[in-house]
Amino acid sequence: MTVRSPDFQTIAAIATCSGGALALALVAQYGFDLWPCTVCYWQRVPYGFALFLAVLALMPVVDAPSRRVIVALCVGLFVINAGIAFYHVGVETRWWPGPAACAGQVKDYSPTDLMAALNRPGRTGCEDPAFVFLGISMAGYNLIACLVLAAASAWAARQTPWWNR
């Protein structure tokens, strides 16, 4: 596998896009104080798995057919992430209710627990987008990105000459 081979470039693109999406989420969270809800955290998991698989596939001991399988697995991860993002968009637009973890729960707190909670950063509800640009929330952009990544990865996995080396 050489750096200029299409199979290497495909795997590198998956790693770059997945790592970039995770980095963007962390910059939004810690750099711009846009704290994620529970579903936002769920959307990070498939990117983490795709990044992990892509980095493994970049190792020289992995043969081309195995890299093709990894690209196909990443297609599945991107489709799963698109499904989570679609669910999140539906919660934000109030098409359906969000998970109970986002709604808040009544608990019996002591005054010490309440004071400690005031000093921790808050978390937004899943139905309140932390950021909207051009009428699309971050979950909406994630949905678009995952669909594009899934389609591009599926197309790349079907390119038989790339993987028969």
Give 8: exposed, middle or buried? Use CB within 10 Å, 0-12, 13-18, 19+.
middle
Q: What does CATH list as the number for 6-99+123-163?
A: 1.20.1550
Largest interatomic CA distance in the chain? 66
Sequence-ordered alpha helix ranges (H) in 58-120:
64-92, 100-103, 111-118
SS3 107: coil
- Tens digit of pLDDT for each residue in 17-51? 999 999 988 998 888 887 788 888 889 999 999 99
Place of tokens 């498939």: 46
- Tens digit of pLDDT for each residue in 54-112? 999 888 888 888 888 999 999 999 999 999 999 988 888 888 777 776 654 445 556 77
* Residue 104, pLDDT score: 44
pTM equals 0.79
- Tens digit of pLDDT for each residue in 103-136? 544 455 567 765 665 665 555 566 677 777 788 8
Polymer length in residues for the chain? 165
Dist. CA 126–CA 80, nearest whole Å: 18
- Domain boundaries along the sequence of the chain: 6-99+123-163
